Amino acid sequence: MVDQPMLAQLHFGREDAERDVTEGLLLCGGFLSNAAYRGALSGRKMLIIGRKGSGKSAICMQLMSDGEGGHRGGKVLVTPDEAAGEEIRRFELQGLPGDSAKALIWRYVFAVHAARHLVDHAKGAHDGGHKTDSVKALGRFLKQNGEAPGGGGRLVERLAQGARGLQTSLALEAFGVKASVDLAQSPSEGARAARQLEIVEQGVARAFEDLGCDGVVHPPLLLMVDQLEQVWSVEPDSNSMVIGLLLAAKHAASLYGRSVRFLLFLRADIYDSLSFGEGDKFHGDELRIAWTEQALKDLALARARASAGEELTEERLWKELFPQTVGGEEITSHVFGRCLPRPRDAIQFLNLCQEKAWLDHERDRITEADVAQAGRQFSEWKLKDLTSEYLVAHPFLRNLFPLFQNTGYVVTRAALTRRFEAAAETLHHDFPAYANALTLPGIIDVLHGAGFLGVRRGNDVVYAGDDGLPVQPHETEFQVHPCFRAALGATTAFDLRRYEPQFADARIASGNYSPGASGSSSLNRDDRLLIQVARSCHSILAQVGRAVALTRDVRDEITLQVSRVLGEANRIPPGAAASAGVDVDDYLLTTAQYFTGLAAELRDCGLEESTGVGDVARRMEEEARRLRRSAGGSYGSSGDSSGY
Ligand SMILES: Nc1ncnc2c1ncn2[C@@H]1O[C@H](COP(=O)(O)OP(=O)(O)OP(=O)(O)O)[C@@H](O)[C@H]1O
Ligand SMILES: [Mg+2]
């Protein structure tokens, strides 16, 4: 172990917070305080909303921990499993709408958890507190309703019992209420349940008050709910279940005041798909988890050091263990630019790099090739994960990927319109229930919201979460996020026809030719024509250079293709065309044809005229005409006068 290289020790932790606590790094220096954590800790925010893998559970785990950074008061974490979710979804009360009924069962869950905490807490923190009448009453209530602390029982079983109690009658004698008598006049099942619940809640609130747990003497009880996605599905009852939870938490927070603090961790796709009348009242409670590239970099370093030792410096991590650059791009931009901004992605990608180098090849440093290989596999994972992340909210997402497969990653609205129109019928047929979302603006919104498509704004490409503004109707240029490009086979900016060299390179490069009779001092016609090709290329390249409003990746792609033409023309030494087997007239005509084709592609792609793409296309057509004229006519007759 001792003489193993540092790369062997390097590990960025587990990809989910639950396992990262037990077998990973989360609580051993791997946690990074962020705005969401501070918001949660301060008690100002109740709803922590984040994409899958953005670190909801991590905050939850950190707060639950007893060490530094943990919540110092009592804490309870509720994570409903499928069975418990089923119980809540099925819970109905005659006389109450779905959301309100679900809110009641959640309020019951909260009240019971608080009561169990209080009974325990009174014994420990408040000397003799357990002898307080209101606490004793809670103890009796819990016992009579099968909820005694320490009594165990899975959440689902206790829920089932509570649900039945609310629907019929709870044992409320502990609070001095004879259910059968006092509640007999309730007009409906719903009204009776609400009345019973109020009695329980008042019992809990009174105990908090009697003990003096007002959040000042000691920190409040922290009640957290995480992993709701486990019980989330398309059924409308799922919606009610979450809305009920929000309503219940809001109600309970005001009821228990400073004694209890609520934190609900919600996945963004779930939260954003809810619509309910009271929704506007929650905006102030919302806190969305956001990650910047710098924060992810800090996270990576913290984790690298937690695994490989404190002596690992940032410099050493990114310059020695990782290759400094990949394909000319700085390593951290390369890696984090290819992740959606969330820790799970970063952890997975970085671990993959380490595995490729150390597990697969037993190297002691990661090479460029390892990163590239890891990147391809990572891209495939992420495309699949995106599908499953949105399976409930947008089940058609996977069927949209072919619109972006094997083409350039820069996509204009015009191109997308054509592709979408071709696919629309099948999509509507396969997903009849989603016809409303399956329109061009609809899918652009979904793809942008999921982080799959970025939109060009000024000179930037903006992805979801960067500034929160949805795609506007006048915006016309999009880019597939780098994360998904490899998996889609969309690794070049623009789907331009590649220039195929016309001569066997080997022949020219090998020098297998003899200089023409005219020698190199006086240029023959072939040479002049070849110079003409080079000039045309330069002229086009200059025009591309002036099109500063054109997306850089697109400019680079045009430049690349035209440079290939230029490179080939330059490779034919003066006087050698004929002996190298080059028919220069043919060569010019083919090149002209290539430029005409390229111009047509550029015109067709739907990029805005204001980007300068039209000028580039026109220049190409002009140069193509000039080359044709030169090839057809005698040298010097035309086309050479306008210059550049
Ligand atoms: N602030 C942080 N500091 C350090 N590591 C973090 C932080 N936030 C998240 N992580 C790590 O990122 C990974 C993903 O986080 P987590 O499991 O909390 O995501 P999640 O939002 O709960 O995702 P899901 O919706 O899938 O449950 C975990 O390994 C977690 O330890
Ligand atoms: Mg989680």
Q: Could you tell me if 250 and 281 are in contact, meaning their C-beta atoms sit under 8 angstroms apart?
A: yes
The reply to whether 368 and 284 lie within a common domain is no
> Which pLDDT band, with edges at 50, 70 and 90, does 500 fall under?
confident
Q: Is 80 exceeded by the pLDDT of residue 574?
A: no
Mutate to test the pocket of ligand 1, among 11, 14, 19, 20 (most ligand atoms within 8 A of CB): 20
Mutate to test the pocket of ligand 1, among 16, 224, 264, 267 (most ligand atoms within 8 A of CB): 16
- Ligand nearest the Cα of residue 229 is 1
pLDDT for 477 equals 93
Task: Give the Cα separation of 480 and 47 in Å (integer).
Answer: 30
Q: Which amino acid is at 107?
A: R
Task: Give the Cα separation of 320 and 201 in Å (integer).
Answer: 60
The reply to whether 513 and 614 lie within a common domain is yes
Last residue of a domain, one of 237, 263, 288: 288
Please write the tens of the pLDDT for every residue from 364-378.
999 999 999 999 999
Sign of the alpha-carbon dihedral angle for 548, 552, 558, 560: positive
> DSSP letter string over 528-550?
HHHHHHHHHHHHHHHHHHH-TTS
Task: Give the Cα separation of 103 and 91 in Å (integer).
Answer: 10
Task: Kindly report the protein residue whose alpha carbon is nearest to atom 7 of ligand 1.
Answer: 55
Sign of the alpha-carbon dihedral angle for 257, 258, 259, 265: positive
Measuring CA to CA, how many Å separate 307 from each of 298, 352, 502? 14, 15, 54
Q: Which amino acid is at 433?
A: A
Q: Is the CB of 84 under 6 A from ligand 1?
A: no
Is 585 contained in some domain?
yes
Mutate to test the pocket of ligand 1, among 19, 52, 54 (most ligand atoms within 8 A of CB): 54
Task: Kindly report the protein residue whose alpha carbon is nearest to atom 25 of ligand 1.
Answer: 52
The reply to whether 77 and 190 lie within a common domain is yes
pLDDT for 637 equals 42
Q: Which of 95-109, 164-178, 587-601 has the lowest mean pLDDT?
A: 164-178
The reply to whether 448 and 563 lie within a common domain is no
Q: Which residues, including other chains, have CB under 8 Å from residue 604's CB and lie 6 or more apart?
A: none
pLDDT for 176 equals 78
- For the segment 384-390, the average pLDDT, to the nearest whole number, is 94
- Ligand nearest the Cα of residue 56 is 1
Å from CA of 345 to ligand 1 middle: 10
The reply to whether 411 and 376 lie within a common domain is no
Q: Is the CB of 16 under 6 A from ligand 1?
A: yes
The reply to whether 180 and 246 lie within a common domain is yes
Å from CA of 347 to ligand 1 middle: 10
pLDDT for 281 equals 85
Last residue of a domain, one of 389, 418, 452: 389
> DSSP letter string over 425-461?
HHHHHH-GGGTTT-SHHHHHHHHHHTTSEEEEETTEE
Is 642 contained in some domain?
no
The reply to whether 304 and 336 lie within a common domain is yes
> Which pLDDT band, with edges at 50, 70 and 90, does 397 fall under?
very high
> Which pLDDT band, with edges at 50, 70 and 90, does 383 fall under?
very high
| Collapsed DSSP state (helix, strand, coil) of residue 211 | helix
Q: Is the CB of 462 under 6 A from ligand 1?
A: no
Task: Give the Cα separation of 26 and 233 in Å (integer).
Answer: 30
Å from CA of 315 to ligand 1 middle: 25
Is 201 contained in some domain?
yes
- For the segment 381-410, the average pLDDT, to the nearest whole number, is 94
Q: Is the CB of 30 under 6 A from ligand 1?
A: yes
Q: Is 50 exceeded by the pLDDT of residue 643?
A: no
Q: Is the CB of 56 under 6 A from ligand 1?
A: yes
| Collapsed DSSP state (helix, strand, coil) of residue 238 | helix
Q: Is 90 exceeded by the pLDDT of residue 593?
A: yes
Is 30 contained in some domain?
no
Q: Is the CB of 32 under 6 A from ligand 1?
A: yes
> Three-state SS string across 390-432, please?
CCCCCCCHHHHHHHHCCCCCEEEHHHHHHHHHHHHHHHHHHCH
Å from CA of 58 to ligand 1 middle: 5
pLDDT for 639 equals 42
Atom of ligand 1 nearest to the CA of 61: 18
- Ligand nearest the Cα of residue 226 is 2
- Burial code of 2-22, b = ≥16 C-beta within 10 A, e = fewer? eeeebbbebbbbbbbbbebbe
- The phi and psi torsions of 410 (rounded to 5 degrees) equal -90, 125
Q: Is the CB of 13 under 6 A from ligand 1?
A: yes
Q: Is the CB of 31 under 6 A from ligand 1?
A: yes
Q: Is the CB of 50 under 6 A from ligand 1?
A: yes
Task: Give the Cα separation of 85 and 241 in Å (integer).
Answer: 8
The reply to whether 462 and 583 lie within a common domain is no
The reply to whether 68 and 137 lie within a common domain is yes
Please write the tens of the pLDDT for every residue from 182-226.
666 677 888 888 988 999 999 999 988 888 787 777 888 999 999
Q: Is 50 exceeded by the pLDDT of residue 2?
A: yes
The reply to whether 92 and 238 lie within a common domain is yes
- Ligand nearest the Cα of residue 53 is 1
Strand 453-457, strand 410-412: pairing: unpaired
Closest residue by Cα to residue 382 from 345, 355, 410, 411: 345
> Which pLDDT band, with edges at 50, 70 and 90, does 180 fall under?
low
Å from CA of 309 to ligand 1 middle: 22
Is 303 contained in some domain?
yes
Paired tokens of 136 = 């004793």
Ranges 43-52, 142-151, 606-615, most confident: 43-52
Q: Is 90 exceeded by the pLDDT of residue 99?
A: no
Task: Kindly report the protein residue whose alpha carbon is nearest to atom 10 of ligand 1.
Answer: 55
Q: Is the CB of 14 under 6 A from ligand 1?
A: yes
pLDDT for 83 equals 82
Task: Give the Cα separation of 627 and 617 in Å (integer).
Answer: 15
What is the torsion angle, in degrees rounded to the nearest 10, for the CA atoms of residue 213, residue 214, residue 218 and residue 222? 90
Q: Is the CB of 346 under 6 A from ligand 1?
A: no
Task: Give the Cα separation of 574 and 539 in Å (integer).
Answer: 21
- Ligand nearest the Cα of residue 48 is 1
- For the segment 239-260, the average pLDDT, to the nearest whole number, is 92
Å from CA of 78 to ligand 2 middle: 12
Is 25 contained in some domain?
no
- The phi and psi torsions of 448 (rounded to 5 degrees) equal -70, -45
Last residue of a domain, one of 429, 457, 488: 488
Query: CA gyration radius for the chain?
Result: 34
Q: Is the CB of 61 under 6 A from ligand 1?
A: no
In the block, residue with structure tokens 């007002």: 214
pLDDT for 597 equals 94
The reply to whether 455 and 527 lie within a common domain is no
The reply to whether 60 and 153 lie within a common domain is yes
Please write the tens of the pLDDT for every residue from 429-480.
999 999 989 999 999 999 999 999 999 998 889 998 766 789 999 999 999 9
By residue range, what is the domain housing residue 607? 509-632
pLDDT for 489 equals 93
Task: Kindly report the protein residue whose alpha carbon is nearest to atom 9 of ligand 1.
Answer: 55
Mean pLDDT of the chain: 86
DSSP state of 274: -
> Which pLDDT band, with edges at 50, 70 and 90, does 149 fall under?
low
Å from CA of 539 to ligand 2 middle: 56
Distance of CA 367 to the CA centre of its chain: 27
Å from CA of 350 to ligand 2 middle: 20
Is 500 contained in some domain?
no
Please write the tens of the pLDDT for every residue from 81-95.
888 888 888 888 888
Q: Is the CB of 58 under 6 A from ligand 1?
A: yes
Domains of the chain: total? 4
Is 225 contained in some domain?
yes
What's the full length of the chain, in residues? Answer: 644
Mutate to test the pocket of ligand 1, among 21, 31, 288 (most ligand atoms within 8 A of CB): 31
Å from CA of 345 to ligand 2 middle: 14
Sign of the alpha-carbon dihedral angle for 500, 503, 508, 514: negative
The CATH number linked to 337 is 1.10.8
Q: Is the CB of 52 under 6 A from ligand 1?
A: yes
Q: Is the CB of 54 under 6 A from ligand 1?
A: yes
Q: Is the CB of 539 under 6 A from ligand 1?
A: no
